[in-house]
Amino acid sequence: MECLKGMSEQDMIEIHCNLNGWEWDSRLGEKPKYFDDMPNRDRTSKFDKYSKITPIMKEIEKRTSERSRLKHHHLYNLERTRIQFEIWWIKRLFRKKLYGY
């Protein structure tokens, strides 16, 4: 995806976070026409934010680790400390191993 070319992992993670909140990130270039007027998700048409941001988010997910994206979310959105994140991450790994999710 051309708009992500040459971006750092941190930039891509921040962009992913913004897109996840239905906000266009200026580092991606010009906002698609009528983006702010589009519904977040409309299963009856392709005129929605979901269809515009999903390909970008999927590409970012290929290029970054889930751990890095979740760490950013915990530190900046949830305002957790690094220690709180690490404890949560370890618990999550154990839950996945024990319960398969």
Half-sphere exposure of residue 100, counting CA atoms within 13 Å on the CB side?
A: 0
- The CA distance from 18 to 8, in Å, is 16
Q: What is the pTM of this model?
A: 0.87
The pLDDT of residue 46 is 82
The pLDDT of residue 1 is 79
Q: What is the pLDDT along the chain (101 residues), one digit of tens a residue?
A: 788 999 999 999 999 999 999 999 999 999 999 999 999 999 898 899 999 999 999 999 999 999 999 999 999 999 999 999 999 999 999 999 999 87
Contact in structure between 11 and 65 (CB atoms under 8 Å): no
The pLDDT of residue 45 is 85
The pLDDT of residue 24 is 97
- The CA distance from 59 to 63, in Å, is 6
